Amino acid sequence: MEKATLLKVNNLCKTYIVNKRQNNVLKNVSFEVKEGEMVAVMGPSGSGKSTLLYTVSGMDKVTAGEVIFCDKDITKMNENQLAELRLDEMGFIFQQMYMLQNLTVLDNIILPACQTKKKKESKKETVKRGEDLMRKLGIIDVADNDINEISGGQLQRACIARSLINKPKIIFADEPTGSLNRNTSEEVMEELSNINSSGTAIMLVTHDIKVASKCQRVLYIVDGNIKGEYKLEEQMCNASIRERERALNNWLSEFGW
């Protein structure tokens, strides 16, 4: 049974004006993300990967085009509507792990749940859900720590827990393993794969073939245009992770990767 389309992007353009000169960062970009799909965006530095992530998630305004999320065109929403949509239906993970210094790890994780109007629950229920997520991600023992008292890997898992607290339909991740060592990166990607297996869609930007090979589909962007798409899941469903990496690397090499 074909999955429903969660995110549909049509002819998306993003232009910045710098010193009276026009910089076309994204040019007529179109693609879809299905419910429960895990999609990687790859490309050289400066190709528009992060800009794409920020525009389709409503964090940055588009210059032209449509971004249809859950059958609503978010390009027509005002700032308050966008903020509510991001809080209630989207999760975010960044390379730089932004957390509030004056809160414990657990309090940082449950903060979005305390702000949403989507569901009514007691503070006790919210705390329990936060603790359950921390337990699932193996960081329950640092719940009461300050954020500067834990490792980078623990902090990124806390960011993942925070991104899940409002049960989003999709998680947007910008280089989620970029500042982690190889072992920690693999652990974090395993957690993201588990989250995706449970039904949450993920769209992530990465320069790491090992990370991208765990996704079902890879979009390759150059100079603001999607130049190619590789369907790993369709072609490599029973392949080992090394075979997936090798196949993806061969495909990327066609673009001069």
Quote the mean pLDDT of the chain: 92
Q: Which CATH number fits domain 7-46+62-71+78-210+230-249: 3.90.950.20, 3.40.50.300, 3.30.420.40, 3.40.50.2300?
A: 3.40.50.300
Burial level of 50, CB count in 10 A (0-12/13-18/19+)? middle
Low-confidence ranges of the chain (pLDDT < 50): none
Spatial separation of the C-alpha atoms in residues 95 and 193, rounded to whole Å: 17
Residue pair 67/59 in contact (Cβ under 8 Å)? The answer is no
148: amino acid identity, one letter: N
Tokens of 238: 């029973």
Which pTM value belongs to this model? 0.92
In the chain, domain spans = 7-46+62-71+78-210+230-249
pLDDT in tens, 129-177: 999 999 988 999 999 999 999 998 899 899 999 999 999 999 999 998 8
Spatial separation of the C-alpha atoms in residues 8 and 234, rounded to whole Å: 20
pLDDT at 206: 95
Number of H helices, E strands in the chain: 9, 10
pLDDT at 238: 67
Residue pair 106/131 in contact (Cβ under 8 Å)? The answer is yes
Q: Residue 228, Cβ neighbours under 10 Å: how many?
A: 15
Burial level of 210, CB count in 10 A (0-12/13-18/19+)? middle
Spatial separation of the C-alpha atoms in residues 181 and 225, rounded to whole Å: 31
Closest CA to 110 of 87, 90, 89, 130: 130
pLDDT at 215: 94
21-34, strands of its sheet edge to edge: 21-34, 5-18, 64-69, 72-73
